[in-house]
Each structure stands twice: as structure tokens, then as C-alpha cells.
Structure 1
Amino acid sequence: MSNKDWRIGIDVGGTNTDAVVLDENLNLISAVKSPTTEDVMSGIENAMEAVLAGEGVDRSRIGYAMLGTTHCTNAIVERKRLDRVAVIRIGAPATRAIKPMIDWPAELRTAISDQWFLVGGGHEFDGREIAPLDEDELRRIANQVKGECDSVAITSVFSPVDASHETRAAAIMREALGDDFPISISSEIGSVSLLERENATILNAALVDVAKTTSESFIAALAGEDITDAEVYLCQNDGTLMSAEYAMRYPILTIACGPTNSIRGASFLTGLKDAVVVDVGGTTTDLGVLTHGFPRESMLAVEIGGVRTNFRMPDIISIGLGGGSIVRQHEDGTVTVGPDSVGYRVTKEALCFGGHTLTATDIVVAAGAAEGVGDPALVADLDPELVKKARAVMTEMVENCVDRMKTSAGDIDVILVGGGSILVPSELEGVARVLKPNNFGEANAVGSAISQVSGQIERVFSLDKLGRAETLEVAKGLATEEAIKAGADPDSIQIVEVEDVPLAYLPGNATRVRVKAVGDLKI
């Protein structure tokens, strides 16, 4: 057995970048919390250097490196570092009414693409062809965009029902553009609903270079610490990992991986498989639901940077409550907390650290609920009534969100993680238990380091062709293949989620099937 069996996990948050080192038995050897930097990468390097300098760390044994990063999210929000994308929609003449990217923010559309093409082809909802695929037009487009774009996004009408036109179109484009040219096809990314699926595919295509640069920079940072042969993984937004190569094909799946890392870390640190996880940072509080040990997925369309999409996303609620949230008392006596925050500057600007801004951290320090944080003497003269009201506001904010995440009326366990979780009391209305595990402040980095590898498919099948049992077996096989592609050990793969929803409006006993397979890292 190889002695390269230790792991380093890094998770980038809006305020702090956390890093941990785990040994072969997933025991925590070293953990650090370092400020997130404007360029993100230098903050990762700082955190990596600090955690590897920890007592007991044997860097020669590190064989796996995991990164949960905000790079892709930031690129979309900031409209920077995005690839130029040639957008191809297969669906003429049926889809001429609405152009691609019609409802996108103008500056994002300008940053990504001014080239879109409508090609004959696509399928009806029952799998019948709308029109034959216009291969000659695709070859003309390939020659036109050659050298003019960095990536191609292909979307076909009802490709989750029949993806043959998309895969053929991708093959034609690669004949002209090269086998390694980045091509995103919508049936591998989104589900039924043309515009949202197309949007997700275009965003994915625009993020290929960001994912490539991030992976290469992470590998370079590891090499700078003399770690040159570790397997590198990026965190997905379902609480699992994917190889760096897989991440370059599906970079959009890294979006919102931070909260899911915290959820997985909370599960690992407590042993609970079902709970609400409350992750309190310096600026925001993220709440998510553990279901069978993994984050619950959202069933709704999700907006990213002003673009409506329908690809896989975690069911997360974010509120403006964090350790740096600014507390104000108004003329009528009411008290508000946030949503604005001093963020990572809390250790300089909060009153208890000698600053001049009243923050949520000051409130809990003044209440005697945050031992070892700041200097209690600096907040000793705060009005007790103000402290009481502010704590009540913070508690109510969390309780309301926990209620929103519930699917039943009964009490549920809550796990508190994140450096700002000192803001939340040990008892909450509607909650059975409030747990705060050891190493709660680094749960996100722990979640990235202990994660498994997954594969997921979501397709529309006709049960008339194979029957339900055989259809589900086919779907499980496809999900297993995706997990293996992402880097999972084939012998360890388990099917953790199967969902089939009959589509009454489609003929052929059509059913939308979603299957998730999870396995351990291939060692």
C-alpha cells in the first residue's frame, strides 16, 4: 500500500480560506484559517503554506489535494476571465421565436459571446425528430468560428430525451476544431427546459479556461511546497469531488461548492446523516440540509450572475448574518443586524478588538457567550438592553431559516459550523438538538478533504421500451460510469439516490430519472 495516503483540503470562503491536513485514518493533523485575498490564489497559497507548517505534518505522505473554490462563481459575477463562446442551438425551424441569451445581463452577454447560430434539427418531446440534423450548416459554422472562439456550447431541443443530435454536432465541430477543443453539450449539464439548459451550457463553456487556470495554479502552489505527485481534485456542488480533468469539462459544477463542503464536513464531524447545517462565516450564514449524508438538492431553477439555469445546485439559504455583521440601534429603539458586514476586517474593526464598529461578534462577547474572543473589557459598557435585543434578532434570523428548510413540522437536529457560529445560542425553537462539533471552524475544509467522488445522470426515458426495472438499471449504470470518469474507485461505488418522476404529458410512459452514484477516491 502506498504511503501517499494523507490529504490536504482547502476551501475558499468570502472572508477566510481554510486549510486542513488529514492522515490516512482521516484524523485532523493540522488546521488553519487565513484571510481570503482579492486575487484568491495568493490566499490559497498562504493557507497551504501555513497548514503544511503545522506540527506533525509529514508533507511527503500527502497524496491527495482537494480544493473548494469560488473562482468560477467570481468569474461570472465579475464578468472577468471568461472564454469567448460560440453558441449553437439545434432546433430550427421550431425555436426561432426566442434567441439564445435573450434575457441575460447585457454586460455578461457581451463578455461571453456575440456569435450564436440556429441549426436545423432537434427532437419533439416524444423523441421524434423535428427535422434532420443539418450537418452541412454545422461544418460551415465550424469553419467560421475557427480561431474566433475559445469554446463551443451546443444545445438541442429535448436532448435529455434524445441526445444524438448533440453528440453528432460535437463530433462535426471537433473534426474542424480539433479533438481537444472545449465543447459543452447540454444533455450532460442541465435537465428538460430548453432556455435554462442552454444558459447553463453556455456558462459552462465560458468557464473552461477559469477551471484550467485554477487547477494549474493549485498544482503549481502544491509544487511550491514540494508536493509534486498528489492527485488533485476540485469540489463539486453536491458535496463530492471531481478530478481536475473532469472539472475542466464541467466547471459549472464547482459553483456553490463552499456551502456543500461545510455540510459534508458537519456530517463527518458529528456522524449525523440527517440534519440542518448552519454555517456562520464572517459575512453570511448559509443553511443547508443533510439528507442521507449529502446536501439536499434544489428542485428550482437557480439564477447565477443574473442568468436563469436548471442544472444541479444545492438547496441553500443565505442570510446577511456573520461575525462581522454591523449592529445598529435606531431612534425608535429597534435593533438591526447586518446585512452589511466588515467581513474579514472584523479582527481590526470590531469594538472587542480595539476597533470602532459595533458588530455581531461584539454582542456575543459582551453577553459572555464567546470565551477567548477579543477583549471583553472593551465592550463592557454596552447597553445590556441593546445586547439582549441584538441577540434576539440574530437568534430569530436563524430560527426562521431553519423552519424554512424543514420538510415536516417536527423538531430537527441542527449542526453549527463556521468560525462565526459563536453567534448562535445552544438552544433554538423548533430544534431537537444544537450540536457544535470539535473543529467546527474548519468544517468546510474538512468537508473538501473527506469527500467522495460522484456521478449523476438525469434523463428522460420511455418505460414502454424497457420497463421500469430495466430502465432504472440502465440509469444506474450510466451514473456509475460518470462516477468512474470523475475519479471514483469502481469497486467502491454505491447508488445513493434514485428518483423517477412520471411525465404525464409525454407519450410512451415517459419518466424523468435521476440517479446519483458515489464512490471512494481511487487509490
Structure 2
Amino acid sequence: MRVGIDVGGTHTDAVLMDGTTVLASIKTATTPDVMGGIVAALEQLLASPGVDRSAIDGVMIGTTHFTNALVTGRSLAPTGVVRLGLPATSALPPMVDWPQRLANAIQASVHLCHGGNEFDGRPISPLRPDELKRVAAQLEKSGIGSVAISSVFSPVNAEMEEEAADILLAELPNLHISMSHQIGRVGLLERENATIVNACLRNLADDIVEAFAAALLAVGVSAPLYLSQNDGTLMDSEFTRMYPVRTFASGPTNSARGAAFLADQPDCAVVDIGGTTTDVGVLTGGYPRQATGEVDIGGVRVNFRMPDVLSVGLGGGSRVTRPPQLEVGPDSVGYQLTQEALVFGGQVLTATDLAVAAGLADIGDASLVRHLDRNLVNRGIAWMTQRITDLVDRMRVSATPLPVVLVGGGSILIPASLPGIPSVHRPEHHAVANAIGAAIGQIGGDVDRLFAITASRTREEVLEEARAEAIDRAISAGAAPGTVQITEIDEVAVAYLPGNAVRVRVKAVGELDLTGEATGKEDEWAWN
């Protein structure tokens, strides 16, 4: 059996699953400290009749902790930034495009050093060990314990980043090191940004993993802990300590995966309506379509794998602005919905009140919204319906209409049909689809880098190398070796670089290995 948990801005959801069967589910209010909501959800879930806590094989959690930390600029560790690229790249130093508030929050110690490679792996300049030893001395003097290392074209040749990490660790053995070739894609500034974000979250990751583990012990569960990644797969607690940045956008991804599972619709648009926001994404083969370029998180441009999702401030707790200009959201009462909404005896007109007044939902006390003007209610429902329809239309990449799966507790706001949509599905357990998506998660590994095709290195050999590397990364992350399959492969010729260069993206996915035997290769490409 597995437990899936998803922490949202309004609700914390939890499900207990035996294979593909949902045995129990619970939805509780997210608490200000978040952790209290997780413990409360687990206690209620595991209090269900016939639950044997010792039979739980794993607990999978989707969390917004790390995203919130970056957006708010809180709980970020002082970070060292080492770029290998001199004499090139000095015109645009690290963090040149960061918001000043975030740059101040991480108190960055920036160092430009010699090194880096051309696109075909040739060195720009040799690495200088003495230069890096001086950097280590300055980091120690500043009390910095986490460092981001980036090197020009390190996804092509990672040797300089690895050698630099060895030198710094020899000087400072307790240093947390994040290397850009393990985190981001081709594109120096965006990959470097992603690595810096990861480095400044390393200390918080230790605290969060330990707090989650303590929450499980508090309710008597000794099963392994896994966290959801932003591509729909899982990573274990130790992987989370090293790569907290991979949890960004895990909430929308979990909802999409859960929707595909519940509705048996591997190719569709998913509309996840929560208490605060609505997320719209597209599933291809049961996994969220990935964004093709850079994404902006808290004002920082990064280029690691992220789902292609449109998010708007529309949910069950959204405040309704009355005529003459009727709008719903983006302001929301959030987790205070059960105190603030009219149907719960509050004084705020919310989207949930409109749904109850229109007969779309049976929540709270319907008599408390009978006085609402019928024209106001109808216009409000029509406004929300059109808003959702427009978002789905924006996500299409072809003229073919997409079926829609509605999930999330706030999906009650929308009627059973949408204009121009061929079919709308609202499956059983739709309110906890995000927690189900976490529970059914698999383990993945991906490769996204440039390869040079030469007379001695054919296209077929390049693709096979990329496939093998993706499979190895999935196994290192905790996938059972015999179950890993390639689910995505993309090959793009890069015309603006000299030579026969090709960018290859490969994703491998496998079933979770609960025996603990699949992590033997982790140290080959992961650092402290």
C-alpha cells in the first residue's frame, strides 16, 4: 500500500492506495505551518477501518515548501557561486538578471574562474587549482556552506565541474555542492540560475526532509519517504536533499497524473481547480507536456524540466467582485474558506457561494445564499466557465479539440459541459487527484545535452549513449532496473554552432524499487 499526500495553498489532501484501488481519502485545511496539516491528514487517513500501518510500502508527498521559499525570499542559505569560463563570459556575471531582493536574500559570494568548454568539448582554458583553493578560503571565511558550480557547456563535458568540486571538497569536506550539468539544460545563464536556486535551498531541504520523516514517525509509519518531481516522477528523501529544485511545480504535475489515471485519458487537457488557483495543462501519453524554453520562478529565469502549465487566480475561495464589473478572483480567502464564505456563515462572497447558489454543489448551508440575485449568480458561473474554456483553448497546439478532465475540490464551480469542448470528465475521487498522482508516481531520469556527430561517432551511437545515460539516471534515482523504459526522445539539429551538433533529449521512467537495490550508482553522478 502507498500513501499519497499533496500540500496546496488551501487544502492538504491524502489518499491510501492498494495498487490501483483507492482505499481511503481525506481533505483537510492546510495549516499555517504546513507540517501540522500533514500530520492531521495522516492521522485521519490512517484512522480508517482496517488500515495496517505496517503494510504501507511508501509515502509520496508533493510540496510547495521550496517554491514558496524562493518566491518569498525566506529560508534561503548564503550561497557561493563559482563559474568556470574565464577569459570568456565576464561580460555577463552570475545573477546579472536576478531580482535584487533575492540576490540580497542569499548573500551570494560570486567567483569567476578559468575553465569551461566549447560546444564540442574543447577547453576554453585550463582549470587552475590554486584559483579554486583561494575561492575555498574565501568561502570558509564568509561561513558559506553551499556552492553552485557552473561551467560553459558542462552538459557536453562535465569534467571541469567535477574536478572543481573535488578541489573544493578537499579544502572544505562539509561543503554542499550543486553542479549545473546535473540540474539544468544547455544555456549558461538559465542553467546557472537553476543551480544557484538549488544550492540556496540545500539547507532547507535537509530541514524539510527531516520534518517530513518526523511527521511519519509521529503517526507510526516507518515506510520510505519520496517526494514528487516537476516531471511527474518521484525521488527519494536523499535525492531531495541534493536536488530540492526538482520539486518545483510538483502540485500541478501530480494533479495531471492523477487525472489521467482516474479518467483513463492519457491524452487530454487537465483543469485542476483548487481553493486558490486553477492550473491547466496538457497530458501526452499520461505525462504532462513539458515547457520547451525557459521558465520564470520568482523572477529568476531557469531551464530545468518544468510542465507547460497556465495558472490563474481562480478557485473555490476566490472573492467575487460585484457589478458593474463582475470578476471572480484572483484574490482568495485561501484556507480560511470554511470561516469566510457565506455558506459557512462568513461575510465574504466567494466562488463557492456562487456554485452552491446555482445548484452545482452541496456544501455548507445553502439557505445562507438564497438571497443572492439570480442574475449575479448566473453571470458569475458564466464568467468562470468562459475563463476555463479560454485557458483550455490557449493550451492547444493543433486545431483538434481536446477532451477535458476536471479535478480538484474547486471543480464543482464548473458545469458538466464546456462550450467547444468535445467531452468533459469529472471522475470519481476527482477532489484528491493531486494526492493520487503523488501515490502512483514512478521514478524517472532524463538527459538534455549537446552531442557532436563525427565520422567516428555516428548518430545511432549518440542516441544509444543518451538512452543509456537516461536509464542509468532513473536507476540511480530509485527505479527498479528491469522496469525502466524510454518514454520520450527528441533530437534537434543545432544549426548556429559549427560542426555537426545535435541536441538530444531523452526521458526514461521505471517502477519504484522498494527493495533499496537500485541506488548503487547514485554516487557516480551525485554530490554531497
TM-score (ref. length: structure 1): 0.96
Aligned equivalent of 2:319: 326
Report how far residue 144 of structure 1 moved: 2.6
Q: Distance in 2 between matches of 1:281 and 1:36?
A: 12
Q: CA deviation at 1:308?
A: 1.1
Task: Read off the aligned partner of 1:104 and give its amino acid letter.
Answer: W
Name the CA distance, whole Å, in 2 between partners of 1:421 and 1:308: 31
Detail structure 1 runs of 4+ shifted over 4 Å in the superposition.
none
Which residues in structure 2 correspond to 1:197-208 (within 5 Å)? 197-208=191-202
The answer to whether 1:314 aligns with 2:316 is no
Task: Establish whether residue 150 from structure 1 lines up as the match of residue 148 from structure 2.
Answer: no
- 2:463 matched residue in structure 1: 472
Tell me how far apart the structure 2 counterparts of residues 278 and 57 of structure 1 sit (CA, whole Å): 32
Return 5+ residue gaps in structure 2 as ranges.
Answer: 515-528
- Counterpart in the other structure of 1:3: none
Letter aligned with residue 14 of structure 1: G
What are the residue-to-residue correspondences of 1:341-380 with 2, within 5 Å?
341-370=332-361, 372-380=362-370
Alpha-carbon offset, residue 365 of structure 1: 1.0
**1:367-406 equivalence runs, <5 A:** 367-370=358-361, 372-406=362-396
5 Å-filtered alignment, 1:236-247, equals 236-247=229-240
1:462 matches 2:457: no
Matches for 1:36-115 after TM superposition, within 5 Å: 36-115=30-109
Which residue of the other structure, out of 159, 164, 186, is the alignment partner of 2:159? 164
| Offset, 1:357 | 1.4
> Aligned-residue CA RMSD in angstroms?
1.3
Report the alpha carbon displacement of residue 205 of structure 1 after superposing the two structures with TM.
0.6
Between the two proteins, the alignment pairs up a number of residues equal to: 512
Q: C-alpha offsets along residues 437-473 of structure 1, whole Å, 9 cap, x if unaligned?
A: 1000110011101110101111100122421111111
2:203 paired residue number? 209
Question: Given the alignment, which residue of 110, 113, 121 partners 1:116?
Answer: 110
* Contact map agreement 2:39 2:219 (CA 8 A) in 1: no
User: Is 2:23 the counterpart of 1:13?
Assistant: no
> 1:124: how far off?
2.1
What one-letter code is carried by the residue in structure 2 that aligns with 1:381?
H
Note the C-alpha offset of 1:161: 2.1
Which range moved further: 475-484 or 99-108? 99-108
Tell me the distance in 2 between the aligned counterparts of 1:38 and 1:508.
55
User: What amino acid maps onto 1:293 in structure 2?
Assistant: G
Matches within 5 A, 1:252-291: 252-291=245-284
CA contact (8 A) 2:119 2:450 kept: no
1:272 Cα deviation after fit: 1.3
Is residue 189 from structure 1 mapped to residue 180 from structure 2 by the alignment?
no
Q: Which runs of no fewer than 5 residues in structure 1 stay unpaired? A: 1-5
Offset of residue 349 of structure 1: 1.6
Answer yes or no: is the 8 Å Cα contact 1:87–1:113 preserved in 2. no
Structure 1 partner of 2:520: none
| CA displacement at 1:491 relative to structure 2 | 0.6
2:490 counterpart (499, 505, 515) = 499
Deviations 1:480-521 (A, max 9, x none): 111111110001001000011110112231111111100001
- Which residue of the partner structure matches residue 484 of structure 1? 475
Query: Over residues 105-129 of structure 1, what are the superposed CA-to-partner deviations in whole Å (9 max), with x where a residue is unaligned?
Result: 2221122133111101111233322
Aligned partner of residue 422 in structure 2, secondary structure: strand
Return the letter of the residue paired with 1:125: F
Q: Deviations over 1:215-234 (max 9, x none)?
A: 11111111112222x12111
Instruction: Give SS of 1:432's match.
Output: coil
CA distance in 2, matches of 1:389, 1:145: 60
* Structure-2 separation of matches of 1:505 and 1:300: 17
Equivalent in 419, 422, 436 of residue 426 of structure 2: 436
Work out whether residues 30 and 55 of structure 1, in 8 Å CA contact, stay in contact via their aligned partners in 2: no
